[in-house]
Amino acid sequence: MHELSIVCSIVELASEAAEGRAVRRVTIEIGKLSGVEPEAVAFCFPEVARGTPLEDATLDIREVEAEARCDICGAEFPTPDMLSACPCGSRQFERLRGDELNIKSIEIEEAA
């Protein structure tokens, strides 16, 4: 389960950014074609965050739909799976979104 190592990295990065302050919320984006299971990330988060500045933080997971731009006709189209083709029939395209895994934001408590 690589989601556990991903959550460990998220907690580590957010803890470093917090510089000892408590983290209120971490928002992440997970592309539908990233190979990362959002449910597994959500399941691991509370345990990994225990005893860290993220212990009471909310994890906000936003799933990103996959889209691509066709190299042949220029159309932008959804790609719900890795084998999708453009409506024109071409399989030559540039992925625009859907394979990312990003920490979008970290909300940290104000310093006292």
Structural domain contains residue 19: yes
Structural domain contains residue 39: yes
**CATH number for position 6:** 3.30.2320.50
Structural domain contains residue 54: yes
Kindly report the pTM of this predicted structure: 0.88
CB 25 within 8 A of CB 58: yes
Q: Tell me the residue range of the domain where 52 lies.
A: 2-65+99-108
Structural domain contains residue 77: no
pLDDT for the residue 109: 92
pLDDT tens, the chain, 112 aa long: 589 999 999 999 999 999 999 999 999 999 999 999 999 999 999 999 999 999 999 999 999 999 999 999 999 999 999 889 999 999 999 999 999 999 999 999 987 6
pLDDT for the residue 110: 84
Residue burial 58-68, b: 16+ Cβ < 10 Å; e: rest: ebeeeebebbb
Structural domain contains residue 49: yes
Specify the 3-state DSSP secondary structure of 77.
Answer: strand
Number of domains forming the structure of the chain: 1
Structural domain contains residue 71: no
